[in-house]
Amino acid sequence: MTDPAARLRRILYAAAFLRALAIGMMAVLIGLYCAKLGFTAVQIGAVLSAALWGAALATLATMLAGTRLAERSLLVALCALPVLGCALLLASDAFPVIVAAAFVGMFNVNGRDRGAIPILEQAMFPATTTDSDRTRVFAWYNVLLDGGYAAGGLLAGLPTLLEAAAGMAPLAAMKATLAIFCALYLASAILYSRLPPRVGDSAPAGLRDLSPESRPIVAKISGLFFIDAFAGGFIGSAIFAYWFSERFGATAATVAVLFSAGRLLSAASHFVAAWLARRIGLINTMVYTHVPSSLLLFTIVATD
């Protein structure tokens, strides 16, 4: 590919990594922050739910508007919303404001970005590379994301360090760390603004109907993903961080190291999944790798 295409790819890589840092950090801190504010478990659940609803609606809006608006404009706007949400989060400790902040900011409470931005990025990457290099480009993209999630998880331990080294109050240390979230998304927005209005040679094709053959396949896969996401909503990173803090008295630093290690294992699992898929198939790989994960989850719940 040409140098301009490589430049676009580097911009997307850098912005994705910065965004992953912010997501990895916020996923650990949002539940702990709400607990510091004195919210009940039900209130914390409402905050996390608002964040997920905000992300879902943003994804729907992107799908509907993506054929009419330039990718650059959408990406910058989708980065501006978390900055606004985080500003609201830091401006007030009132429960209604925090719920509104989570909704507007679309805070990722599961530690992985499944919102509108990666949808746009993944649609743009093929225009920055050749068919033969496409797999490698996406592999690096996922490695950078997982590395960012892991590093962001470590950043979530900063409040504990600020309390010990600078003598800051726990809530003030949390707020100072959350301000980094704003800075990371702002930096991502600046990077996205350096993209051309549209990436790729062809104009958007618009929404198309699925073929009769594809509809049952898409329906089954969508149903499977819905069930998986519904169950995953009970065990998001933010919920686990809050639970570890309440049940075991874990500090933000302890939880940060735990989640960072988990993200690194997740990154390594990509290579194992590829090896397994070649031998037992994609569907079997998806199913059988969930079994040990579920069994280990039971051991965590049963541990005192």
- Domain residue spans of the chain: 3-199+215-302
Residue 278 structure tokens? 């070649």
Distances (CA, A) of 163 to 32, 171, 174, 264: 15, 10, 9, 27
- Residues 278 and 236: their CA atoms lie apart, in Å, by 30
Does residue 105 contact residue 30 with C-beta atoms inside 8 Å? no
pLDDT of the residue at 193: 94
Q: What is the pLDDT of residues 123-134, one digit of tens each?
A: 888 888 887 777
- Residues 109 and 87: their CA atoms lie apart, in Å, by 17
pLDDT of the residue at 205: 52
pLDDT of the residue at 2: 56
pLDDT of the residue at 87: 95
pLDDT tens by residue, the chain, 304 residues: 557 888 899 999 999 999 999 999 999 999 999 999 999 999 999 999 999 999 999 999 988 876 677 889 999 999 999 999 999 999 999 999 999 999 999 998 887 787 899 989 988 888 888 877 777 788 888 889 988 998 998 999 999 999 989 889 999 999 999 999 999 999 999 999 999 888 765 444 555 677 877 788 888 888 877 887 777 767 777 888 888 888 888 888 888 888 888 778 777 776 777 678 778 887 777 777 777 777 777 777 677 6
- Residues 141 and 125: their CA atoms lie apart, in Å, by 9
Give me the CATH topology for the region 3-199+215-302: Growth Hormone; Chain: A; (1.20.1250)
DSSP secondary-structure letter at 169?
Answer: -
Alpha helices in 37-106 (DSSP H): 41-65, 71-91, 95-105
Cα angle at 241 between 154 and 181, to 5 degrees? 50
User: Cβ contacts of residue 85 below 8 Å, gap of 6+?
Assistant: 54, 101, 102, 103, 104, 105, 106, 107
